[in-house]
Structure 1
């Protein structure tokens, strides 16, 4: 056996101090936000589509808008070159209006 003394920690105390409880939460009640975009003011740029063999306005509408039922918007935008929505021809370049919200 050894006659060495062991360390005596009986008088040692520990205290953990954190700032987490003392920090006040940030007050954002007076903050406002505004998003300004030119998309609403200028509008979306007009697209065009060149008619392919076998195309219909419904097919083109589904391709651009995700639904065939918007074919009339394409027809109305192209009244200068279309008299009948069922008579589009390959090679025609149609204006595709921006989808209305």
Structure 2
């Protein structure tokens, strides 16, 4: 018959933890300021995923009721559109809210 291994004896172990509280200076946030820009012009903005056969005029007609407002969509998407006649299926376009 074998006897189980004796359990480790940690009775002579000691530990010391130093705090860093006194060694670290308190952060000074007195010069910090915050600013929130208005998102007012973004309220009402939507997105639209271009489908096969879409044109900016068709999309403008759908969202604004006037095909002639295609330029608003084009300008809102200049980061991805260089030519208003070259939109591709799958593109996600921003549809800006219009100030009437």
Q: Please state which band the TM-score falls in when normalised by the shorter chain.
A: 0.5 to 0.7
Q: How far apart are the structure 2 equivalents of 1:81 and 1:90?
A: 13
Match of 2:31 in 1: none
Match among 39, 42, 51 for residue 40 of structure 2 = 42
**TM-score (ref. length: structure 2):** 0.58
State the superposition RMSD in angstroms: 1.4
Runs of 4+ in 1 over 6 A off after TM superposition: none
Larger Rg: 1
**TM-score (ref. length: structure 1):** 0.57
Match of 2:97 in 1: 98
* Count of residue pairs brought into register by the alignment: 61
Query: Structure 2 matches for 1:20-59, cutoff 5 A?
Result: 42-43=40-41, 44-59=43-58
Shift of residue 45, structure 1, vs aligned partner? 2.8
Stretches of structure 2 lacking an aligned partner (at least 5 in a row): 1-38
